[in-house]
Structure 1
């Protein structure tokens, strides 16, 4: 008699729930930036860009008094190109949330990436810290989303919680590589209480069963009256690069905020070194409408 293998699986899914039963939210962001870009050499031009514009749908349903089912579908919208973005190109997942924590499966930001987004005062703008810390010039960046990922977040204990995130395969194939040779993992420890945010994360990407890139980040922010101070330090392996950045944001008057940040990359190959300074002002007309004016300059070495 032929024996069938025993397959263990964790299935997260929500079905048979009507709109009347679930809490449904339609959300999004339209972010257009008019910029002048100049490389100081042979390129100088005005540019209109759609920066992480998106549309998404969230649904939540209490399947029992102590268990809530979650679904999120989020896709990028490019106002400036005809790129065919998939509807789930951004954070998209199904999940379960209860007193024991949060469990999600799908495609979404890693704990390591979250540290940068929490402390970057110019995220998705001219002056974005990813210009320095992403490290994509090596072939594998360290500020990405995991495909095919499953993640767990513990409850908060006195402001402290842990995130664990594993991808069975970081490629976009239908099936994972044999023995999960192209897997990856990311984990973080966070303290968030009142004006203080502090976290440390480590991430590792594999290819063909071999480690191809890893990164460790430490990040934090502190709010002191009208002033916010941010900082991030990062070290990566293969190649061994180090990066560091600090930022300040000040509530000037009303809904006007002044901000600035400085980031520097000390690469394993000095020809890849870079540093960036960015300054700007934000005007929060309302929670739904914001304007900003930024200036940023990057100094790259010859190989960068």
Structure 2
């Protein structure tokens, strides 16, 4: 209804302002602290699977029963002391043990900042090594999520160090970054999640126009697939998904070499349809009381998400 009233450039302007607004809110430490006291309100309960390990395992089990596999993420941002970093590490380990005990089809995603990257690099590395050892023992896989550009090079540097010893770890490449193709080439053969990118970055380091980002995204997907590398395509864009399907059929790339990924709570009908078509469909399931930054970035990505959140809030 709103789009019918605003045409052309005005729509783009409104969407840009909306995105910038929610990205700004996502970095507000005061609001983040307050959000922990609110609980999963403002619609967040629709996209965050509770605050405990038990709650997220319950959600994963239900998704598995629908033919969907998962990756879970214990949300954590603005980790500014050693105690919080160690606590986050322990929860990641607890999550891996719960996955192994219950037998759910699921792996683990995490951010290096929640393990102490902004406090002490050595501490962060020690924490991720603890997690990787537990994952290795339980035959599980760890995905290191990519964060904003300020942490980009550090994340890749640590990731490359980890890959020298562990093959059960992957990371993420963001298509909106100018350096994405170069870094993708250097990670040939490594399982990667490819995304468009969800942070607000400067024009000097990232494409700003949707058309450019989409074009680069498809280029990266094709490039990684053609090297024989396992590729996770994380997108809710049905056009992108259709293009990937056609490309893989044309190039005779087996379904076992790639998977689609979507966020918990979004486009659930499409998720189940993709799984029924015989593709691996992995759902990214976040949990924990530090949900605020994640939720704000989801609202920033698409204007439709705002009405989705409000609908959930007022239906309570």
TM-score, length basis structure 2: 0.29
User: Normalized per residue, which structure has more helix?
Assistant: 2
Structure number with greater CO (CA < 8 Å, separation at least 6) is 2
Q: Which structure has the greater CA radius of gyration? A: 1
